[in-house]
Structure formats: C-alpha cells, structure tokens
Structure 1
Amino acid sequence: MLHSTVPAATKRADFRARLAAGDLVRMPGAFNPLSAALIQEKGFEGVYISGAVLSADLGLPDIGLTTLTEVAQRGGQIARVTDLPTLIDADTGFGEPMNVARTVQVLEDAGISGMHLEDQVNPKRCGHLDGKEVVDEATALKRIRAAVQGRRDPNFLIMARTDIRGVEGMAAAVDRAKALQDAGADAIFPEAMASLEEFAAIRAAVEVPILANMTEFGRSELFTTRQLADVGVNIVIFPVSLLRIAMGAAERALETIQTEGSLASRVPEMQTRARLYELLDYEGYSAFDSGIYTFDLTNNRGGA
C-alpha cells in the first residue's frame, strides 16, 4: 500500500547480493508504476526503467531530449511501488563530469538501485539505430570515474554501457569493456551484440556482471534467458516490450471502436476491474481506512 516498505539501501544491497551469487536477474521494463507492480507480482527479480520508454511516454523520440529531472521523477515513481531493485537508463549522464556526479546523487535520492551510463556522443540515439557515434576512450572513462566519485551509497550500481560494437567492431568492444571495468564500472552493458558468441567474448574479457538487452526489432537476436545464462550473462532487460504490447493492444482497441462502434468484442482481452483493484491493493486501503476512521459522530450533533 502507498509505497514499498523496503528501504532503497536494502534494495541496492539485495541487488548486489543476487549478482554476486551468480543468479540471472531478469528485469522487464516498466512503462509506469502499475506495470512495475505487475512485474514484481509475476516473480521477476528486478525492474528496468528505459530511457526510450520515458521519452515515448513524453511523446518524444529517444535522442537525448529528456532531462535529469524528468527521468528521476519517473524513476522515483516506479521505484516507490516495488520491493524489487530498479535499474535506470541515465543516457550519457546529462552533461559533463560534474553533471554525471550529480545525476548519480539525484537518482540515489529517487530510490533507484542502479544506473547505466553510455559512451555515445551527446546527444545520444537509440543503440540499435545506424549513425551512432561514440566518444573517445578518455571521455568515456572520465564519465565513469565521475559517477563513481559522486556515489554516496557504495551499493548503488554504476553500469557502463558501450555502443562501440556497432561503430568500430567487436575487438573494440572488448577493449572498451575492459577499460570501463578498470575505471570503476560495477557492471558492463555491451549494446547491440550480434550473437551469443559475442556475449561470451565480453564475459571472458571482464570480471564484473554483464547485461544483455533483449529489445525487439533491434540488432540482437531474441535469445532466451537460458541461452544467455549459459554464456555468462548476469542481467537481462526487456526494455520496451511491455510498452509495445500495451500500445499494440490500444491501437487495436481504437480501430475496433472505429469499425464496430463499441469495444464489446474486446472485453475478453481486457484486464478486469477486479484484477486491476487487486493489483492496486484496494483491499489494503480499505482496511487502512476502516482502522483509522473509527470515531462516532452520534454525540456531536448538538449545538454546544
């Protein structure tokens, strides 16, 4: 009810412990707080907060137009409803090194468990589009060092994302991953890997956890969680999947209204009112109210 009762520091420590244990952490992307609650209820290990989803939620393309304030606010709204750790997309850090350090602290204050920071030229673009540019290694490492220096909770996960695979090739990706780890990154996000063998190569190159991005319509094949675990991947995200499914259903519903004049034929596909209320914990709120508002107005009708 209201907010998660698990403190942010505990969520971060739990996230670290799960990664240290070698468990595969599956993190579907939440497009709002309600979907985050559903992710938890369905038994996943974490919640991902995608920059592409946050941009789309604002009606913007994912080309670096969102601000730290917008990202932190939405991230905090999502983090507050779930007991699970949350990992958020921090793009290129929203500025120069000092801005990157502030980004870490603002996201810590929002209750987030970790963030990833990429090595694209600012403004960035979607990692699965052509025409990406990456910064030189010195600039990429400076961003990571600034993030580490800005961190106050040592369990806040600072993940380095590299997009260099699609620009300079796999050998460059391996070299960049090693350098990012040496600069202090707690985990590596190699974007747009083309095969399981490429994920395995990154796994062999670094000692920290690695992440696989299983986004639809992208450069990477949609490998199963089992396949990814078998090559040493530690975190799997499904960043835009729930939004895509929800928007596909919304589009079909609107078309049905146009063609049939009502949504009667779509009702069996809908989440019921009872199921929505269950997910929102209406029962808990009702119990809270009945326990608080127990006063009797019977003796307060007089004029005195």
Structure 2
Amino acid sequence: MLHSTLTASAKRRAFRERLASGDLVRMPGAFNPLSAKLIEDKGFEGVYISGAVLAADLGLPDIGLTTLTEVAQRGGQIARVTELPTLIDADTGFGEPMNVARTVQVLEDAGLGGMHLEDQVNPKRCGHLDGKAVVDEATALKRIRAAVEARRDPDFLVMARTDIRGVDGLEAAKDRAKKLVDAGADAIFPEAMADLAEFEAIRASVDVPILANMTEFGKSELFSTQQLADVGVNIVIFPVSLLRLAMGAAERGLETILTEGSLNSRVPEMQTRARLYELVDYAGYSEFDAGVYTFDLKNNRS
C-alpha cells in the first residue's frame, strides 16, 4: 500500500543476488506504475523502464528530448509501487561526465535499482534505427567511470550499453564491451545483435551479466527466454511491448466507438473493475482507513 515494503537498497541487493545466481532475469517494460504492479503480480523478476516509452508517453520521439527531471520523476513513480528491482534507461547520461554523475545520484535518490548508459552521440536515437553514431572510446569510458565514481550505493547497477555493433560490426562491439567492463561497468547491454551467435560472442567476451533487448520490429529476432538463457544471457527486457499492446487495444476501442456507437463488443477484452481494484489494493486502503478513522464521540466535550 502506498509504497513497496522493501527499501531501494534491499531491492538493489536482491537484484545483484539474482544476477549472481545465473538465472535469467525477465524484465518487461512498465509504461506507468499500474503496469509495474501487474508485472510483479504475474511473477516476473524485475521491471524495466524504457526511454523510448517515457518519450512516447510525453508524445515525443526517442531522440534524446526527455530531461533527467522527467525520467527520474517517472522512474521514481514506477519504482515506488513494486517490490521488484527496476532498471531504467538513462540514454547518454543527459550531458557530459559531470552530468552523468548527477544522473546517477538523482536516479539513486528516486529509488531505481540500476541504470544503463549508452555510447551514442548525443542527441541519441532509437537503438534499432539505422544511421546511429557512437562516441569515441575515450568518451564512452569517461561516461562509465563518472557513473561508477558518483554512485553512493555500491549495489546500484551501472550497466553500459553499446550501440557500436550497428556502426562498426560485432568485433568492435566485443572490444568495446571488454573496455567498458574494465572501466567499471557492472553489466553490458549489447544493442541490436543480429542473432543468437552474436549474443553468445558477447557472453564469451566479458565476465559480467549481459542483457538482451527483445523489442518488436527491431534488428533482433524475438528469441524465447529459453534460447537466450541457453547462450548465457542474464537479463532480457521487453521494453515497449506493454505500451504497444495497450495502445493497440486503445486504438481498436476508439475505432469501435466510431463504427458501432458503443463499446459493448469490447467489454469482454477489458480489465474488470474487480481486477483493477485488486491490483491497486483497494481492500488494503479500506482496512487502513477503518483503523485510522474509527473513533467514539460519546465522550466528546462540547
């Protein structure tokens, strides 16, 4: 009720322990706090917060237009309601290394479990679009070093994302991944891998957890969680999936109003009022209210 029962530090420790176990961590992308509660309710191990989703939620393209304040506020709202660890997309860190340092501390304060920081040129673009540009090696490593040095909770996960595969190929991605780990990255996010063999190649190149991005309509095939686990992937995200499902349903609903004049035919597809109340814990709030507002006026003095 109101907030998760676990502290941010406890959730971060649990995230680290899960990664150390070798088990795959499945992190669907939440597009709001309610969807994060649903992810937890369904039994997933973590919640992902996509920069593309945060931008889309504001009616913006994913080209680096969102601010640290917007990202931290929404990320904090989502992290607040779930017992699960949350991993957030911090784009390129919202500026130079000093800005990266501030980004880490602001996201720590917001209660996030970790963040990933990419090596694209700022302003960035969606990782599965063509025409990306990446920064030079020195700049990429400075960003990661700044992030690692700035964090105060050692369990806050600093993940390095590299987009160099789409620019200079797999060998360049392997080389950069190794150097990002040497710079202090706790995990590696190799973006836009072409196939399972490429994920396996990255896995063999570094000794930290690696992440697979299973985004629809992207460069990578939508591999199953078992396929990814079999090649050594530690985290899999489904960053925009829930937003796409929800917006697809919303669009079909609006079209039904236009064509049929009501939503009677769509009601069986909707989440029920009872299920919504269950997710937001109406019963818990009602019980709390009863305890707070139960009082006796018999001895009240006028």
Matched, 1:262 2:262: yes
Tell me the distance in 1 between the aligned counterparts of 2:211 and 2:198.
12
Who is 1:175 aligned against? 175
| Paired AA for residue 2 in structure 1 | L
Distance 1:13 1:133 in 2: 35
Q: 1:25 corresponds to which residue?
A: 25
Equivalent residues in 2 for 1:69-84 (5 A)? 69-84=69-84
**Which string of whole-angstrom CA distances, capped at 9 and with x for unpartnered residues, describes residues 205-255 of structure 1?**
000000000000000000000000000000000000000000000000000
Q: Which residue of 1 aligns with 2:106?
A: 106
| Number of the residue aligned with 2:210 | 210
- Asked if residue 46 in structure 1 is aligned to residue 10 in structure 2, the reply is no
Are residue 8 (structure 1) and residue 4 (structure 2) matched?
A: no
| Matching residue of 2:221 | 221
* Counterpart for residue 160 of structure 1: 160
Matched residues, percent identical? 85
- The residue type paired with residue 220 of structure 1 is S
Distance 2:249 2:298 in 1: 51
CA distance in 2, matches of 1:297, 1:140: 67
Counterpart of 1:150?
150
Unaligned runs of 5+ in 1: none
Write the distance in 1 (CA, Å) between the matches of 2:298 and 2:59: 53
RMSD: 0.8
Report the Cα distance in structure 2 between the residues aligned to 1:84 and 1:271, rounded to whole angstroms: 23
For residue 292 of structure 1, report the CA deviation from its aligned partner: 1.2
Given the alignment of the two structures, is residue 130 of structure 1 paired with residue 146 of structure 2, yes or no? no
**Distance (whole Å) between structure 2 residues aligned to residue 280 and residue 111 of structure 1:** 20
Cα deviation for residue 108 of structure 1 reads: 0.2
User: TM-score, normalised on structure 2?
Assistant: 0.99
How far apart, CA to CA, are the structure 2 residues paired with 1:257 and 1:296?
A: 51
Alignment length, in residue pairs? 302
For 1:284-295, what aligned pairs fall within 5 Å after superposition? 284-295=284-295
What one-letter code is carried by the residue in structure 2 that aligns with 1:273? Answer: R
Question: Match for 2:81: what amino acid?
Answer: V
After superposition, residues 227-266 of structure 1 pair within 5 angstroms as 227-266=227-266
Q: Which one-letter code corresponds to 1:88 in the other structure?
A: I
Residue 95, structure 1, aligned to residue 95, structure 2: yes
Match of 2:191 in 1: 191
The answer for the alignment partner of 2:35 in structure 1 is 35
Match in the other structure for 2:60: 60
What is the TM-score with the length of structure 1 in the denominator?
0.98
Q: Distance in 1 between matches of 2:294 and 2:90?
A: 47
Q: CA deviation at 1:296?
A: 2.4
Instruction: Spell out, residue by residue over 1:128-178, the C-alpha distance to the aligned partner (whole angstroms, 9 max, x if none).
Output: 001100000000000000000101000000000000000001110000100
- Name the SS of the counterpart of 1:117 in structure 2: strand
Residue ranges of structure 2 left out of the alignment (5+ in a row): none
Match of 1:87, SS state, is strand
Structure 1 residues 85-129: Cα deviation after superposition (integer angstroms, max 9, x where no partner):
000000000010010001000000000000000000000000000
Instruction: Give the distance between the partners of 1:291 and 1:40, measured in 2 at CA.
Output: 27
Amino acid of the structure 2 residue aligned with 1:156: F
**Distance between the aligned counterparts of 2:272 and 2:225, measured in 1?**
30
Shift of 1:297: 3.2
Give the Å deviation of 1:281.
0.3
Deviation at 1:22, TM superposition (A): 0.5
CA apart distance, 1:299 = 5.1
Partner Cα distance (2:236, 2:214) in 1: 7
What is the SS of the residue equivalent to 2:159? strand
Deviations 1:168-196 (CA, angstroms, capped at 9, x unpaired): 01110000100101100000000000000
